[in-house]
Amino acid sequence: MSRKLSRNLLSQDLLSQNPLHRNLFLILTASLLITFILFLAACGSSSHPAISVASTVPATGATGVSTTAAIQITFSSAANPNTVNSTNIQVTDPNKNPVPGTVTYNSTTNIATFTPTTPLAANTTYTVTVTSVASSSGNAMAAPFTATFTTAASGTPSAQYQAPLLDNAGQISIDTSGTVTVQLTGATASTTFTVQFCPAADVDTSVTYSCFTVGTVTTDSSGNANTTMTFPQSGSWAGDFQLLTGTTLDYSTTISGTGASQTYLSQLEPTSTVNGKGLDGSSGPQDPLTSGSITLSGGALQYTLAGAAPNTSYSAGECLTIAIGNSSCYTLYNNQNVSGFTTDANGNVTFSVLDDGEGGDMLQAFSSSGKAGFIGGFSVP
């Protein structure tokens, strides 16, 4: 008999003869087992923390929000898609009545989007509530999340275009009245910049566009500024805003990377009328879009089309401006590598695709029917 086997038999014999030893052995074994279970539970909770809401668009407390805005909710980690639904994500009015809408989830960006079925009421505070959403590993939210935002007053101009500046230097936005707001943060200090707009020509190199001055903005000793000016020309526009000192280009609007602090918003404009001359040389029949927009948050580009061609497949595209009068365009896809999204019988559709992080801020929606599409930009009365 081996030494190991003899020792095991001896232990069993002592335990069988001495009840005190046996009880002590059982108590120690149970204590060790409980400690081991608690250790495993602690390890599990630290490696898979509970999911939470990292941010929302509009941000909590935001005012002047467009009545047609979609609400985006970014989670701290990947969520179980089955728990991201209209039961667990709700928007309610001041009387706690749920707002009708649809909920979609982008598993690549961890962003849920609530899209109201009809426009929200003006000058009204709404509450966003998120409950019972679980992570992909099964850990539910530790507590409900709530945020509030207030829509713009009726007749108040709302933002129709907003784009970040390269180097995180700030942003430029335009409201529906044509007022341009330039906000700079940490730019070159104590400097006066000329703000100009350069219309983009898309792939139609036969059309020549010239940049024109919008106004000026001067930073303080910290490189900050907040200045408004009026866009000098009416019509539909798409292109880049640029900030220059003399003839030197300092900053330009773009979509670059997927930073959570970057927000992009633009209205979809007919390609046959944008920049006063049209893009792509488009002169064919124009789809009857009544309204449309593109928003960016956390790397997801959401397209909303209303009143476009019914039962028609649309795709998303992005154009990188190489030079005035010359650019390169290509198709964008969602996380399932799908690029086509079909409108309903009323010509409506909402879909999301992934931003490629390459830069540029000229985005398109184009149909498979051969008709001209729509391009992101803004209109000035």
Indicate whether 241 and 370 sit together in one domain.
yes
Instruction: Please give the model's pTM, rounded to 2 decimal places.
Output: 0.61
Q: Which of 151, 181, 200 is the last residue of a domain?
A: 151
Indicate whether 133 and 251 sit together in one domain.
no
- Rounded CA gap, 137 and 50, in Å? 9
Domain count, the chain: 3
What would you report as the CA-atom Rg of the chain, rounded to the nearest whole angstrom?
Answer: 28
Which pLDDT score, from 0 to 100, does residue 281 have? 56
Indicate whether 8 and 108 sit together in one domain.
no
Indicate whether 240 and 344 sit together in one domain.
yes
pLDDT tens, residue by residue, 14-30: 334 455 444 444 454 55
Range of the domain at 59: 53-151
pLDDT tens, residue by residue, 96-112: 999 999 998 988 778 89
Q: Which of 101, 132, 151 is the last residue of a domain?
A: 151
Top mean-pLDDT range of 93-97, 163-167, 325-329, 356-360: 93-97
pLDDT tens, residue by residue, 117-131: 888 998 899 999 999
| Angle, helix 3-17 to helix 19-47, in steps of 10 degrees | 110
The partner residues of 357 in beta bridges, in order of sequence, read none
Indicate whether 144 and 201 sit together in one domain.
no
Indicate whether 278 and 131 sit together in one domain.
no
Indicate whether 179 and 244 sit together in one domain.
yes
Indicate whether 209 and 357 sit together in one domain.
yes
Q: Which of 122, 151, 180 is the last residue of a domain?
A: 151
Strands 313-323 and 340-342: antiparallel
For residues 258 and 297, the answer to whether their CB atoms sit within 8 Å is no
Summarize the confidence of residues 228-254 as an average pLDDT: 92
Indicate whether 342 and 207 sit together in one domain.
yes
Indicate whether 22 and 84 sit together in one domain.
no
Indicate whether 187 and 305 sit together in one domain.
yes
Indicate whether 224 and 319 sit together in one domain.
yes
Q: Residue 145's domain is classified under what CATH number?
A: 2.60.40.1220
In this model, does residue 156 exceed pLDDT 70?
Answer: no
